[in-house]
Amino acid sequence: MKRKISVLLLVLLLLSCFSGCTPKAQEADDHQNPPITGILSVQDGQLVTPDGEAVTLYGVNLGGWMLMETWMGVVSNYAEDWGYYDTLEVLESRFGAEKTAALVKLYEDHFITAEDIAQIEQLGFNCVRVPFWYRNFMTEDGAWLAEDPAENPGFQRLDWLLEQCGQHGIYVILDLHGAPGGQSMNHCTGKAGRNLLYTGEDNLETAERLWKAIAARYQDNPVVAAYDLLNEPQNNGGYTGDTAWPAESAEAVSHTNAAYDRLYRAVRDEDGEHVVSLEGIWSTTVLPDPDEMGYENMLYQLHLYDTDRGMVNYRVQELVTARKDWGVAVLVGEFNNQKLERYACEQYRKNQIGYIKWTYKTVNTGDNWGLYNGSVQRVDIKTASYEEIADCFENRLHTENFILNEQELADISP
């Protein structure tokens, strides 16, 4: 009798191990974030709630959503430096501005949905960083797509995201990934080979106007964790030209920090409460002492794509030093450490540094770029009909068509 009971218990145990989710996935399914109760601030180098409770941000970037990056997207990649600007140029030349706007809306409606935000919470994360660019809100010459923010497609998209994330206890970092004129030579700004933000007064004034509008609209919204003023300024490696300054050169640092100062003060004209984030590319040493600049409530971040333990440790120590010396909160705003992913995340957590994975979902990429990866047929926007492009955007992009990288999740889970 005892033997029969033992066998029965063994069978039940085996069944429980193979019934559905792995223990890690089951744990993620049960995760629920605490509600967001107020605007975060920085105290002694830590993000804290109004009650003084420390908050560490762990999350994913929503890369490729409001600013398509063709190398990891569903549109055919025609060249290494092909940017979203180039995609829009092709679509508008073929179908006109109105139909192109309809395609953009269709794409954004289906690439990230309410189900994705719920899933991000279930996976154990409490933050998303959303890359956007000026063209979500403006024409190329800086005119608003709609003067009323409630009617402007860029603000409509951010409004929706903040509402959805608020329901799931997920903070949002608003990341200006592509500034007017471009803040680097890299195609991730939307168009490669420019880096004209710093040398064109019109571009700087337009960027100020955009940040003023963002800060005015979200000044009372506690879901916003931080305003990330410029993504990867001076990411100029591999480019040539008059404005292709090396990232840590005196010219690059001077131009970047002057632009940061103008954008910081533009935000503070409208919002004195929210955290403001500055990115050091590729080191914190290029960033200014906030006390000398009169900056308050600051979050300094690095993007870490190092695949060497020594460099991971070095950059982590830079962040720790910045927090100690300047009293700023610190963050790894993007990362992909490939085979060192688990080790790197252990170092981030060990040092109480939040981290945001690049990125949530990708198409046809390897090397752990996406938490979700899709082997999705790309669409050739130069030859496909309007109906074929619309069908692709509506039916191929749902995350249910993508595969969760379980190993990657295990490596980066907080």
Lowest mean pLDDT among 26-30, 163-167, 212-216, 260-264: 26-30
Q: How confident is the model at residue 12 (pLDDT cuts 50, 70, 90)?
A: very low
Q: How confident is the model at residue 30 (pLDDT cuts 50, 70, 90)?
A: confident
Q: Is the pLDDT of residue 11 over 60?
A: no
Give me the helix-helix angle, 201-218 and 153-167, nearest 10°: 40
Percent of the residues in the chain that have a pLDDT greater than 70, as a whole number: 93
The pLDDT of residue 39? 98
Mean pLDDT of the 330-339 span: 97
Q: Is the pLDDT of residue 378 over 80?
A: yes
The pLDDT of residue 365? 83
Q: Is the pLDDT of residue 293 over 80?
A: yes
User: How buried is 349 (Cβ within 10 angstroms: 0-12 exposed, 13-18 middle, 19+ buried)?
Assistant: middle
Q: Is the pLDDT of residue 288 over 50?
A: yes
Distance CA 113, CA 120 (A): 11
Mean pLDDT of the 300-307 span: 97
Query: Minimal CA–CA distance to 302: which of 290, 287, 288?
Result: 287
Q: Would you say 153 and 146 are in contact if contact means Cβ atoms under 8 Å apart?
A: yes
Mean pLDDT of the 290-308 span: 98
Summarize pLDDT for 82-139 with one digit per residue, the tens: 999 999 999 999 999 999 999 999 999 999 999 999 999 999 999 999 999 999 999 9
The pLDDT of residue 24? 35
Q: How far is CA 223 from each of CA 72, 163, 238, 272, 279, rounded to the nearest angstrom?
A: 28, 8, 37, 16, 21
Q: Is the pLDDT of residue 227 over 90?
A: yes
The C-alpha torsion from 150 through 151 and 153 to 155, rounded to 10°, is: -20
DSSP string, 178-245: E-TT-SSSSGGGSSSS---TTT-HHHHHHHHHHHHHHHHHHTT-TTEEEEE--SSTT--TT--STT--
The structure tokens listed for 27 are 């744990």
Mean pLDDT of the 30-42 span: 95
Structural domain boundaries of the chain?
Answer: 22-412
The pLDDT of residue 29? 57
Summarize pLDDT for 342-354 with one digit per residue, the tens: 999 999 999 999 9
Q: How confident is the model at residue 65 (pLDDT cuts 50, 70, 90)?
A: very high
What's the sign of the alpha-carbon dihedral 205, 206, 212, 215? negative
Please count the residues of the chain: 414
The pLDDT of residue 368? 87
Q: Would you say 382 and 89 are in contact if contact means Cβ atoms under 8 Å apart?
A: no
The pLDDT of residue 366? 74
Which residue would you say has higher pLDDT here, 259 or 21?
A: 259
Q: Does domain 22-412 have CATH number 3.20.20.80?
A: yes
Q: Is the pLDDT of residue 238 over 60?
A: yes
